[in-house]
Chain A
Amino acid sequence: MGFLGRLFRAFWLLRESPVGMVGVCIVLFWVICALLADLLVALSWIWHPLATVEPLLTPLSPIIIEGGRLINEVPVEEICALISGGENDGMYNCGISWLGTDHVGRDILSRVIFGARTVLIFAPLATLCAYVVGVPMGLIAGYRGGWIDETLSFIANLILSFPVLVLYILILTLVGTSTYNILLAVTFASSPAIFRIVRGVALDLRSREYIAAAQTRGESTWRILFVELLPNARGPLLVDAMLRIGYTTIQIGILGFIGLGLPPPTPDWGGMVNESRQMLIIFPHMAIFPCIAISTLVLGFNLLADGMREVSLKD
């Protein structure tokens, strides 16, 4: 209970910070979108993200499909009446393409919603992987010092010397793009940063008297690292984790944007922006909505992190 309880407490304390609360709301909004993507799509008469209708419809375009054929002349009010009146007897399918469709006729709203699912699976997962690698190494390097620290720090510096995106490009051109490889690349690129944070905290904490007490009690290194040191690093780590999920979201978006992202049919915000690049001036809606989506989600995480930092300073 202890650790989870305190984790929960960290979030609970956030209610003191208005900025943090806004962040929580935004993130929650997207989490709900991601969880209920299927349901939302069904309820709002949006198509499956892969289904295609008519390419490049502008937002709020009414759509009626009858026998697989698109009828597009009916005014919006009538469509709404049709939907609410329940007169849809299966003869035809109808709805409004709220955000328009893209160049191959896929509905943008449904793809944005499903995109949330993709990113909210990938970003936290990649961050988690990076933590699993970075935390133990940082702890041991900071606590033990000496050659272990020097070796690990050198390796971390090595990785950090690559501009992140260059590193991604190199890794992904070498091993090819796939879901796993992207996860791998993100883990590889962000664990050194986590390593540095944890190392710093461990270095600071290792001279505390309670650590000396544990040492003179003859505790094992393992126990000192994970039971005595780690819980005291949770404040900065939690803040960093939130920032890092946001940052990883951007990274995955950029990968999608430069064409190294998740394989094509997966709804992916970065990829959506990339596909719209050529038509941006004429059909800005294709790019704008996924851009808004990713920006708000990242903003949510950043505000959350900021609120947490503020609250932890007061605590």
Chain B
Amino acid sequence: MTETLIEGHKPLAPPPGIPVLDIDPYDVDTLYTPHAYYEALRAAGPVAYIPRYQVLAVGRFDETKTTFSDHETFVSSRGIGLNDFKLEKPWRPPSIILEVDPPEHTRTRRVMSKALSPKVVRGLMDDFRNSAATILDGLLGREIEAVVDLAEAFPTAVFPRAVGMKDVHTRHLVDYGAIVFNAVGPDNVLRQRDMARAPEVAAWINAACARDRLTDDGLGALVYAAADAGDITEAEAGMLVRSFLSAGVDTTVTGIGNALWCFSQNPDQWEALKADPSLIRPAFEEVLRYTSPVHTFLRTADRDTEIGGHPVPEGTKVLCVLASANMDPEKWGDPEVFRVDRRPVGHMAFGAGIHGCVGQNIARGELEALLSVMIEKVDRIEPMGEAIWRPNNAIRALDKLPLKLIPS
């Protein structure tokens, strides 16, 4: 007998003893203002049952970290969204790094981590700084919409160049990430809207990842060199370049927008940063902790197991609410305060364990370049209207951020 799936995964009856949280985490209003949901999730217990989707959810720091990084029990190969790839065909061929387990993962991860290593990023920093300076010079002193004018403009200028892309389509580059991230959610309005335009954007992205559409001196070429060396196949190289674009554009756009928002809301912290440039890197870590650009990804229990002493059956989807873990007062003391000198080592914004963000050096490099140029040029970051968030099933990003950058 075949069971009817719910959101592409096995139905799960409420497990005895696990607190029930009758909330829709993917409701658009919840995605707009998620903090009450995070609080309720942490208050419910170490793990909660969400009837709406028949899944479990974790949001306390310890359980989130343990579940998200226990790759042997809670696998990625069955998808990091609500769909169980073992039971239902995914909308696109699965990622060969994000959505696989060892030993497959070890092989592709090694190629990517070499291409995105701290050493490689050091070589990109001059370009990052120069581009940041050029873009900022054009924005000082007038009212801007900082999402488009800066948060999107900067990464879409430097990242495709770093990858060595010959074709650049700013809109497709930014939107592809958002589509991929909405796809990890339920079949709600956000996912449906994005699935409708996925074919066009995905076709453009796939074509742009081909070897002959890349220069021979970028990150893309480093990945294709691994194919020449026989470590991966030619087709796998294309897939890995694709993952630069799905995971590396919209995420950094979000990180920059969120950083600008943090500083526009906390002018004393901008003063602190200007006074002590050695806080630039720690400040970005605090932005990541405070705003968690990736708010939720899932894992699938690959065997009967337990979370926080509660039994969890095989096939259970578990929401790992990274944004909630990053706001857990048990871990952080005063999580609701944005402090550039907090140094939140171990935050969950880049994940943890073997799948921990392989692009984090690039993300940090982009932010370090931008913020270091900004503290030279920008005296104050003034809000010019209400900041509006953009609901997404996995990403917490701004939609509109009207600002004025007052020059020094």
Q: Do A and B bind each other?
A: no
Residues of B within 8 A of A (CB): none
